[in-house]
């Protein structure tokens, strides 16, 4: 009633809608306060916001689109979850006459039309998040159960241009951060390329474009017509001046071929590319992003990137590493001079460090502090086949890391300190190393492969499995903090947990002369001659006897100072020097102690 009254004249518009928003205060923030959200709001909220002429700025918009449509399906109210109910909306004039073209998404497009109208007059907006999660859930479960006859109904291709117009209005309102999430179930309702004969032609000049962060976590933006708009946006000069963060997550088999190679964003600082599912190596021709495209993109943005996270993209094949590196990177120029954090498949980690070794620049990787090596979610085409990851690839990444650090040790690379003095640091810089495991299959064998047979009680592997040569772990002397975490449903196997203290000792005790080794009385052999810099070990996803595990680590890892077992907010960091001192006092007071 108040919303209808507000449309009669300007005076009543102010009085009626202020009364409407005042009634909502206390339950949630309102557009008068600069916030528009779909959470717990009345169905008239979009109508009221569109009509409220005094609302000219929005600091935050978070909207979960709803599904449903007007229809005459008999017995539609028999199921309380059914959303095929008559809807009354003051802003449905652009949609009401096209209900037959919207399929099951009448309400979704009604909300899109409302938001498009709102942003056509909004003068300023900061953060916008559009989410299709509720629509996905409804399409996949409720609609299929209640009205199968319309579950696969099509949507008029022209209606999707309304969503493109909404995006256009948002970025031209000065939006600083735009997030679009979910919508996987909507893909089957998107028009195919044949039905979109005419390419998107936008006349937008984006006078107020100030987009600094773009999160594309919806494949809707990676399919026409939205993908054409996205490419036009990212290749615009206005976006090149403002964008500093870009995150893309895709469930599609491949990105648009021209997306990555067409971009040149000189101010880009943070980049994330994630594919939800990764296929096995032999099936990588259908990975979402090709290595050539990713290499070209990283080469273009090498000077500005500070944080890079890659997951699910095609890895660099070893046989093509040399030639591809030469195409994307100039050895006479610095490679990632500002990069602080890099997270990727071990093959990508090795590729980056190999580039650094070949580089002739003294500031290549000059800011690097954190490396995350990830085993990815490898799904076979056969759903009954066990997940598998080639964990020896981690060793390849370690070798490349050591080669890069040896460049500093041998004086080939010189890290210029920020003080800009003449002092140069000829020693490898300590970094934080994160090991993130997704596939459990083969993980215990990889841990055990670094230990000599005499140190391992693992009859399932056999003595011939282990190499008598010193583990490459003994050369990782420039690791400051080591973090081990897993992302699979089950925790690490008991066999793997039992191996961890001895495995960790190979790093922490490397050339450390502060005390005897607890295994065999000798320290692990190391080719570097440099004492280990490992100070802290974090075991994030641990389920077991924490005190016993910490005691084993304290006993065997003599150079380690700190350990944290379990999640940060539940488990404090343990000072191992104090732990060892306490254990020594207990042994001294125990008459039965040897």
Long-range contacts of the stretch 169-172 (C-beta < 8 A, 24+) = 169/116, 169/119, 169/120, 169/122, 170/119, 170/125, 170/128, 171/206, 171/209, 171/211, 171/233, 172/204, 172/206, 172/207, 172/208, 172/209
Three-state SS string over 140-201 comes to HHHHHHHCHHHCCCCCCHHHHHHHHHHHHHHHCCCCCEEEEECCHHHHHHCCCHHHCCCCCC
- pLDDT at site 70: 46
pLDDT tens track for 537-585 = 999 878 888 999 999 999 999 889 999 998 766 788 999 999 988 876 6
Structure token digits, residue 471: 């583990």
Q: 87 falls in which pLDDT band (50, 70, 90)? A: very low
Of the candidates 552, 548, 554, 545, the one whose C-alpha atom is nearest the C-alpha of residue 579 is 554
Q: Please give the Cα distance from 294 to 291 (Å, whole number).
A: 5
* Tokens matching residue 352: 């980056």
CB distance 159 to 109 below 8 Å: yes
What's the pTM? 0.85
Q: Which two tokens stand for residue 135?
A: 């629509």
pLDDT of residue 175 exceeding 70: yes
User: Which stretch of DSSP H or E encloses residue 504?
Assistant: helix 494-508
Helical ranges in 442-484 per DSSP H: 443-449
**Across 343-358, average pLDDT:** 94
The pLDDT-based confidence of 110 (bands split at 50, 70, 90) is: confident
pLDDT at 465: 55
Q: Collapsing DSSP states into helix, strand and coil, what is residue 325?
A: helix
Work out the angle at residue 85's Cα, subtended by the Cα atoms of residues 84 and 87, and round it to the nearest 5 degrees: 120
pLDDT at 425: 46
Spatial distance between the Cα atoms of 495 and 465, rounded to a whole number of angstroms:
15
> For position 74, what pLDDT does the model report?
36
Q: How far apart are CA 143 and CA 135, in angstroms?
A: 10
Three-class secondary structure of residue 35 per DSSP: strand
- Name the DSSP class of 468: S
CB-CB neighbours of 205 under 10 Å: 10
Contact 407, 356 (CB under 8 A): yes
d(CA 386, CA 127): 42
E strand map for 182-269: 213-217, 245-250
Give, in degrees to the nearest 5, the angle at Cα 412 between 409 and 414. Answer: 80
Mean pLDDT of 465-477: 79
Of 60, 6, 7, 9, nearest in space to 30 by CA? 60
End-to-end CA distance of the chain: 86
pLDDT at position 277: 59
Q: pLDDT-based confidence at 298, cuts 50/70/90?
A: very high
């Amino acid at each position: 009633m108040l919303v209808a009254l507000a449309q009669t004249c300007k005076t009543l518009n102010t009085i009626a809608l202020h009364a409407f928003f005042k009634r909502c205060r206390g339950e949630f923030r309102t557009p008068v306060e600069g916030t528009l959200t779909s959470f717990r709001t009345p169905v008239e909220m979009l109508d009221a916001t569109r009509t409220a002429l005094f609302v000219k700025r929005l600091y935050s918009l978070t909207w979960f689109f709803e599904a449903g449509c007007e229809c005459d399906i008999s017995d539609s109210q028999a199921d309380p979850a059914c959303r095929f109910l008559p809807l009354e909306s003051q802003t449905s004039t652009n949609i009401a006459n096209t209900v037959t073209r919207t399929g099951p998404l009448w309400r979704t497009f009604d909300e899109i039309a409302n938001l498009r109208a709102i942003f056509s007059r909004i003068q300023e907006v900061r953060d916008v998040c559009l989410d299709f999660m509720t629509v996905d859930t409804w399409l996949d479960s409720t609609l299929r159960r209640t009205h199968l006859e319309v579950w696969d109904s099509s949507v008029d291709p022209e209606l999707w241009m309304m969503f493109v117009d909404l995006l256009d209005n948002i970025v031209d309102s000065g939006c600083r951060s735009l997030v679009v999430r979910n919508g996987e179930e909507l893909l089957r309702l998107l028009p195919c390329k044949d039905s979109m004969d005419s390419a998107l032609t936008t006349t937008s000049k984006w006078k107020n474009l100030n987009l600094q962060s773009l999160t594309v976590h919806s494949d809707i933006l990676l399919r026409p017509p939205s993908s054409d708009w996205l490419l036009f946006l990212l290749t615009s000069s206005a976006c090149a001046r403002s964008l500093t963060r870009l995150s893309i997550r895709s469930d599609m088999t491949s990105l648009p071929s021209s997306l990555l190679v067409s971009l040149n964003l000189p101010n880009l600082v943070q980049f994330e590319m994630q594919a939800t599912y990764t296929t096995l190596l032999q099936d990588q021709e259908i990975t979402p992003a090709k290595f050539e495209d990713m290499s070209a993109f990283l080469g273009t943005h090498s000077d500005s990137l500070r944080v890079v996270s890659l997951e699910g993209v095609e890895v660099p094949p070893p046989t093509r590493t040399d030639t591809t590196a030469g195409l994307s990177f100039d050895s006479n120029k610095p490679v990632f001079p500002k990069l602080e954090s890099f997270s990727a498949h071990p093959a990508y980690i090795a590729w980056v460090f190999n580039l650094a070794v070949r580089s002739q620049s003294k500031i290549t990787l000059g800011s690097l502090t954190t490396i995350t090596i990830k085993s990815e979610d490898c799904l076979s085409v056969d759903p009954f086949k066990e997940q598998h990851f080639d964990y020896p690839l981690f060793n390849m990444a370690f070798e490349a890391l050591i080669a890069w650090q040896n460049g500093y040790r041998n004086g080939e690379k010189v890290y210029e300190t920020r003080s800009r003095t003449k002092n140069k640091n000829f020693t490898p810089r300590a970094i934080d190393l994160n090991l993130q495991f997704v596939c459990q299959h083969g993980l215990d064998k990889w841990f055990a492969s670094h230990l000599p047979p005499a140190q391992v009680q693992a009859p399932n592997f056999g003595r011939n499995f282990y190499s008598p040569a010193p583990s490459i772990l003994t050369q990782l002397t420039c690791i400051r903090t080591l973090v081990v975490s897993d992302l699979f449903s089950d925790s690490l196997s008991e066999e793997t947990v039992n191996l961890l203290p001895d495995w960790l000792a190979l790093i922490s005790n490397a050339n450390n002369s502060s005390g005897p080794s607890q295994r065999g009385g000798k320290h692990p052999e190391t080719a570097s001659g440099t004492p280990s810099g490992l100070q802290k070990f974090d075991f994030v996803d641990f389920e077991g006897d924490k005190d016993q595990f910490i005691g084993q680590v304290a006993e065997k890892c003599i150079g380690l100072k700190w350990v944290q077992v379990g999640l940060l907010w539940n488990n404090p960091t343990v000072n191992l020097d104090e732990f060892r001192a306490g254990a020594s006092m207990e042994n001294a007071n125990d008459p039965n102690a040897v």
